[in-house]
Amino acid sequence: MASEDSISSNPLLQNFEFPPFDIVDAHHVRPGIRALLQQLEAELEQLEKTVEPSWPKLVEPLEKIIDRLSVVWGMINHLKAVKDTPELRAAIEEVQPEKVKFQLRLGQSKSIYNAFKFVRESPDWKTLSEARQRLVEAQIKEAVLIGIALEDDKREEFNKIEQELEKLSHKFSENVLDATKKFEKLITDKIEIEGLPPSALGLFAQAAVSKGHENATADTGPWLITLDAPSYLPVMQHAKNRSLREEVYRAYLSRASSGDLDNTAIIDQILKLRLEKAKLLGYRNYAEVSMATKMATVEKADELLEKLRIASWDPAVQDLEDLKNFAKNQGAAEADSLTHWDITFWSERLRESKYDINEEELRPYFSLPKVMDALFGLAKTLFGIDVVPADGVAPVWNSDVRFYCVKDSSGNPIAYFYFDPYSRPSEKRDGAWMDEVFSRSRVMAQKGSSVRLPVAHMVCNQTPPVGDKPSLMTFREVETVFHEFGHALQHMLTKEDEGLVAGIRNIEWDAVELPSQFMENWCYHRDTLMSIAKHYQTGETLPENVYKKLLAARTFRAGSLSLRQLKFATVDLELHTKYTPGGTESIYDVDQRVSIKTQVIPPLPEDRFLCSFSHIFAGGYAAGYYSYKWAEVLSADAFSAFEDAGLDDIKAVKETGQRFRNTILALGGGKAPLQVFVEFRGREPSPEPLLRHNGLLAASA
């Protein structure tokens, strides 16, 4: 047992202004979470005894319980994602079932559920604000989806399923991380990596040094290739050595699909349990459960995916023809039989030739400090906010992490956020994400203030600084930072004070990507891009002709890139609607079947991409990957409001930006997203702006 002393000094249990990320360690997790759950259990029992269908006696005490758990669990879960250790993993794994058990107990509380139903059915219902009505309806719906209405034995079965699913998704993502880390290819002969740019060679040498080859340099090697994105992508784009590309591609594609790290059985079990859960709740399949909290229905999602697929197919077929012809003209032996490990390489060559753009030559124009300055400048223009460095105000988990304060036009702080930019393959999961630390809340305000301010994380995995050079980014990495900042803005600029529906909370999942994808559009806006693109050594601005080429290249291979996303979305829906776990068709058969209509080059028979498809097996996108496309329709249409107003008319841009801030960014989960969109745009969304931006409009006409 943990002693009273160790409990009282446990950083997870302190009242903190900002989480003590610098001192929380694996050994705090077991005693800290257990003591917290004990406290919350007592608070829940007290609430159930005293609950009344009123805000102070129902919602406020409930929010305190939900918030405390999400803040503390969020803290250790975040550390697992950015500073993973075997000890931290083991500790989280041990207490996780206890945490899930408490969440189920809370979500299935009959007295709380009945109190919410009473509020919903009372004559005072119409006097509640729209945000409060949404909050009540969300609580009732969540309770139903967490099994409140099930008989005791059914509820027990449901709870077992929830526990098992939580465990499986953690195991899935650990296997992906471990499999990604496991692959290392040491190269000593420079001929093998011909074509790779200096930035990649510098990164490979840095990786070799970290593995004990202390004399490794970019020029003389040795070079260590891993499956981490900043390492994997340059190999696929630039390595002239076709067999190296094949080896790295096959390794990437088969991650977590064999031996101790094989996710195949885990996927089958996840799908089986999700289907059982859906049936217990009275749904036909898991996709219907997923859609119960989204804007779309299964039919509407299918309809959109098919419409976009038809618009993308012929352009994608043409993309491949163009590549074959180009490779043939370059005298490539493989021109007539281009396959998966050739596409990225030859696309990059064709892009360089067609638009005379070399990704690597652009890097010096995109140094991280300049990119962030321009991003914050854009936020000031559009939304009237100032983002100022606040390093040292809050503890951080790594010395590379930056901390910022967001201020309104009067100079008052309205939010804070952390930014962790660089790839750290040994301890940090790949990808990029934004998450909440605190949500805005009236109930959780500290003494002396009327509201607790929102705090967010932004995490990326971009190329770290090499030697004395700053982090020099690819254009895609620039888009990623803009994307994650869009999510953060919706969390931070909310004006909603009801904590359970503030910021990104309670926003239908298929609308969540709207502000993030909206922000990406600004990377192509001339004034914005020119304010970013300054050479890190000379300060010279990106030449005008290069900007024009970047703009022209925006629709390069748009059909192929669109199909790729549509394939992910379609296979996700298929697995959660028509697939029968344990039936005659395997998960890989489903993948192959979907690919017939969504991949111009059929996947390899041994393709195992599903084994690392974390979005749907370890993230929140199960039967929801279509949300990216759904929200892309919304975001392209939202950006077209700025195009209609005139992108060069600064007054019109500011007015439209203010309207975007007051609707999409301010209303949070307190209003239905379709209503919020109509309030901003003046009409319902249309897919036309998306097809136009992607150069696919003619194909769909």
Catalytic residue among 162, 477, 484, 574: 484
Q: For residue 542, give both structure tokens.
A: 């990106």
If we measure between CA atoms, which residue out of 176, 621, 694 comes closest to residue 433?
621
574 is an active site residue: no
Q: Are strands 455-462 and 413-422 parallel, antiparallel or unpaired?
A: parallel
Spatial distance between the Cα atoms of 37 and 131, rounded to a whole number of angstroms: 29
Six-digit token string for 512: 């969540």
Contact assessment for residue 618 and residue 302, using Cβ atoms and an 8 Å cutoff? no
Measured between alpha carbons, how far is 73 from 124 in angstroms, rounded to an integer? 36
- CA pair distance 226, 186, nearest whole angstrom: 9
CA separation for the pair 469, 473 (Å, rounded): 11
Tell me the C-alpha to C-alpha distance, in Å, between residue 554 and each of 347, 351, 476, 647.
13, 11, 11, 18
Alpha helices in 470-532 (DSSP H): 475-492, 514-520, 526-532
* Integer CA distances (angstroms), 526 to 244, 479, 649, 690, 698, in order: 38, 14, 13, 19, 25
- The whole-angstrom separation of Cα 630 and Cα 352 is 31
262: alpha, beta or left, given left = phi > 0 and alpha = psi -120 to 50?
Answer: beta
How far apart CA 424 and CA 155 sit, in angstroms, is: 42
Q: What residues does 436 pair with on adjacent strands?
A: 456
Q: Which of 643, 639, 567 is nearest to 598 (CA)?
A: 567
Complete DSSP assignment for 86-154: HHHHHHHHHHHHHHHHHHHHHHT-HHHHHHHHHHHHSGGGGGS-HHHHHHHHHHHHHHHHTTTTS-HHH
Euclidean distance between CA atoms 527 and 532, whole angstroms? 9
State the Cα–Cα distance between residues 356 and 181, nearest whole angstrom. Answer: 35
| Secondary structure of 43-56 in HEC code, one letter for each residue | HHHHHHHHCCCCHH
The strands making up 386-389's β-sheet, listed across from edge to edge, are 386-389, 402-407, 413-422, 455-462, 433-438
| Helix (H), strand (E) at residue 185 | strand 185-187
| Cα 248 versus chain centre, distance | 25
Instruction: Give the integer Cα–Cα distance in Å for 619 and 596.
Output: 26
Whole-number Å distance between alpha carbons of 181 and 515:
33
Helices (H), 196-297: 198-210, 229-238, 242-253, 264-280, 286-291
Active centre residues (catalytic)? 484
